[in-house]
Amino acid sequence: MSVQTGYLLIADITGYTGYLTRSELEHANPIIRSLLEAIVIELKDPMKLRGLEGDAVLAYSSGPFPSGETFLNICESLYRGFAERRRNIVQNTTCPCNACRNVADLDLKILAHHGKFEELSIGPMKDISGADVILVHRMAKTDVKEDTGIRSYALFSEDAFQAMSIESDLMQYSAQFEHFGDVPMRVYDLAAAWQRYREIAGPVRVADEDAVFTTRHILKAPPVIAWEMLTDPRLKMRWMMLKDAYREGDVSRTSAGVRLHCIHEAAHFQMLIVDWHPFEYVTDILHNSSIEGLTNLETYELVPVQEGTEIVFRMGQLTDAEGKHHPAEESAVIDLFENFYPVAFGILDEMALELQQEKK
């Protein structure tokens, strides 16, 4: 097999050994299995599941990756899936056994490296091998929690951080590993990021029964690619046919609470993101400068299908600051969208095809 280059990721449940040794196995094992399932569900293409290693999930990517921002979103989604499942277990159990009482003691850390490895096939078994695979496992044996006070974290090697090429200034950290020497790394607080999401985000979603306009399109690309096209200001410029697009304020990432400013030759648009669920849906409040004082909710939903991803766009009612409905102006916006989206979806198709060709 040829040598590949990509991300190597381990999502490791912390507190696992202490939890099992003081818990009843008939309850502890199903709980651990449920938490691992919640993590695996959040793994998105192009990340590939390599397998489970007791209390950890190992995944990797090979070939071109959409962006470092997408990789960070995947890491956040892994933690969110774990944290929400843990919370549901805690809130919905009345069992007094140690296994059920101590679920809250479990947490998650993510180790990520970018390097070279070889994909191996031995009979029915598949694996990955290489010095960089060893390094990402060594990264699990650090004192990040003790040194930084951060309990739930993503630890990126400097190689991973440079490959991500993100604007976020993550905490610097380093550790000595046998055969590797001093390895520089970066620390990201996953629990703090999740808490910010919970404080800002909805759930806010335009449902079918509330939509005044809905359109659907099948994009021949996975949800990760579709998500990046819909949310990255640089990519929005192309398919929305904008002169410029940027995040307002001193922010380096698009997420809940961020306002996007989109400049079209006919009007300016401001989109305040009010619900943000990476690779599944995003909702914003849209303000159009051509109809001052009126806004509407809009939701983009991504549905995995056999051909790739179904993009579902739903527009909510156009209202003023007092909540009064404005059907005449709304009708004009719907007419605009009916002409806009077929063209925009055609451009998205072109962009998806270009990305597929880049992978070959």
The mean-pLDDT minimum among 42-51, 108-117, 324-333 falls in 42-51
What is the rounded CA–CA span in Å between residue 22 and residue 19? Answer: 6
DSSP of 221-282, one letter per residue? Answer: S-HHHHHHHHH-HHHHHHHTT-SEEEE-SS-SS--TT-EEEEE-SS-EEEEEEEEEETTTEE
Looking at the fold, whether 192 and 217 belong to one and the same domain comes out as: no
Q: Per-residue pLDDT averaged across 50-70, rounded? A: 89
pLDDT at 3: 87
Residue 355 burial (CB count, 10 A): 15
Q: What's the CATH number where 238 sits? A: 3.30.530.20
Across the chain, what does the average pLDDT equal?
A: 91
Looking at the fold, whether 309 and 211 belong to one and the same domain comes out as: yes
pLDDT higher than 60, residue 360: no
Looking at the fold, whether 317 and 206 belong to one and the same domain comes out as: yes
Q: Which of 157, 182, 197 is the last residue of a domain?
A: 197
Looking at the fold, whether 184 and 208 belong to one and the same domain comes out as: no
pLDDT at 257: 85
What is the rounded CA–CA span in Å between residue 15 and residue 257? Answer: 33
- DSSP lists the bridge partners of residue 48 as 60
- Check residues 267 and 328 and name the one with the higher pLDDT: 328
pLDDT range class, residue 168, cuts 50, 70, 90: confident
User: 234 is in which domain, residue-wise?
Assistant: 201-359
Looking at the fold, whether 186 and 274 belong to one and the same domain comes out as: no
pLDDT higher than 60, residue 174: yes
DSSP of 134-191, one letter per residue? Answer: HHHHHTTSS-HHHHH--SSEEEEEHHHHHHHT-S--PEEEEEEETTTEEEEEEEEEHH
Q: Which of 144, 179, 197 is the last residue of a domain?
A: 197
pLDDT higher than 80, residue 57: yes
Looking at the fold, whether 115 and 258 belong to one and the same domain comes out as: no
pLDDT range class, residue 250, cuts 50, 70, 90: confident
The pTM for the full model equals: 0.83
Looking at the fold, whether 84 and 56 belong to one and the same domain comes out as: yes
Domains contained in the chain, number: 2
SS3 50: strand
Per residue in 330-352, pLDDT tens? 999 999 999 999 999 999 999 99
Q: Per-residue pLDDT averaged across 193-217, rounded? A: 86
Looking at the fold, whether 229 and 328 belong to one and the same domain comes out as: yes
Q: Which of 169, 197, 225 is the last residue of a domain?
A: 197
Looking at the fold, whether 192 and 236 belong to one and the same domain comes out as: no
Looking at the fold, whether 169 and 272 belong to one and the same domain comes out as: no
Q: Per-residue pLDDT averaged across 96-111, rounded? A: 92
Q: What's the CATH number where 25 sits? A: 3.30.70.1230
Compute the half-sphere exposure of residue 48: CA atoms within 13 Å on the CB side of its CA. 12
Residues with Cβ within 8 Å of residue 192, at least 6 apart in sequence: none
Looking at the fold, whether 209 and 272 belong to one and the same domain comes out as: yes
Looking at the fold, whether 136 and 229 belong to one and the same domain comes out as: no
pLDDT at 201: 58
User: Which phi and psi angles does 136 have, rounded to 5°?
Assistant: -65, -30
